[in-house]
Structure 1
Amino acid sequence: MATVFETVYNWEPYLKFGTRQFIKKKTEIYSQGSIGDGFYYLHKGLVRIVTSTAKGKERILNIVVPGQLLGVQSMDNRAHFTTAITVKDSVLYYFPCDPFKDLIKEHPALRNVFTQTVIHKMKILLDGINLNSLSSEQQIAVLLLNICDDFKNYEVPLSQQDLANCTGLTRITVYKILKDWKDHKIIQVQNRSFVINRPDLLRALVKESVNNT
């Protein structure tokens, strides 16, 4: 289900310990298969998390919005199983693994912030993994709610093709669903973005999947 990113996961006091990086849009932050030595905190901007299928096709797993982490698997010295690409000009803070472990010892409260942020991220990724068990409408609703809950203003900066890539649905199916939602004033469709007018109706649609299981 869509999860709300609680404001208690406040990274602001700890950003001074990271390295601030400005990355232009459409830039690869890290690539699938590479070994990282640190993770990132997204302060401003938007980042796509994608993976390559066995057939070489790109599939979107998640959209990272400000306040979220990316690349956390590098904490265990494991290869990245995804690729991170900026959607727009972004500001990130980079935290190398070893110095961050020392930082946690000096600031015990940071451990809880880090842990809760990762748990939240895993819930969103789990939603993405479980999308195949939902109807086409529910799949799109889950994705939009996960993003707009974090983005706060209920504007989701994705295109119809992005939604099709993320869900594995055809663009025609996505178009028909969005058109129906637009006709019922649930959403507004703008150029490469959606404005959620009635998130309550989308939540009710997703809740049906729980009641029917």
Structure 2
Amino acid sequence: DIILVRENLEGLYIGVEHFVQIGDDPRAVAESMAIVTRRGCERIVRYAFEYALKHSRRKVTIVHKANILKMVSGLFLEAGRDIAGEYAGRVESNDMIVDNTAMQLVLRPEQFDVMVTTNMFGDILSDEVSGLVGGLGLAPGANIGTKAAIFEAVHGSAPDIAGQGVANPSAQILAAAMMLDHLGELDRADRVRRAVVDTIVRDGIRTHDLGGVASTEEFGHAVARRAA
């Protein structure tokens, strides 16, 4: 049960990049710029700690690559440690280099609770975390801003299986639970999550990606009965 908080506005994914021509080759060199601000770092790390407090989570892990990217990732780590100090005694915290994090997620995933990191690292680690629980069909996600929030399945629209009734709706249902969390309806959110887990574990009703035979509709109805 890992929460991964990913910064979504900065880093390498801002798309500031260009080619440099050398001789007759207009695409001889590609350059990409990563922009990280202290304000952005503090905002996302503070959100992770506030989330941990609100949901009674025990620890926040700050994931970085400051040993190599001493400025871009170093600023994130510096800001993260500063914010962590404000929550000392209320939320446990540690920091970890991203490549070690990737390995530790495989070896000892139980050591993680809430993780917070920059844009690209979060993009990669979120898929690894999804694989630990059965794949993208079980992974919900959210884009949360100061004035609006969007909740979605991590896997996207999956057009290759559209209309076949084989998609796993768990991620979409769990995204709705995240929406309820965001709205302060924590009991209802937990009820939805328990319904999904009980359908899969206790009832043994699973879609094809989990080794079952249930259709999308059949699984959805089973979850609805559990949640009722």
Q: TM-score range by the shorter chain?
A: 0.3 to 0.5
TM-score by length of 1: 0.33
Larger radius of gyration: 2
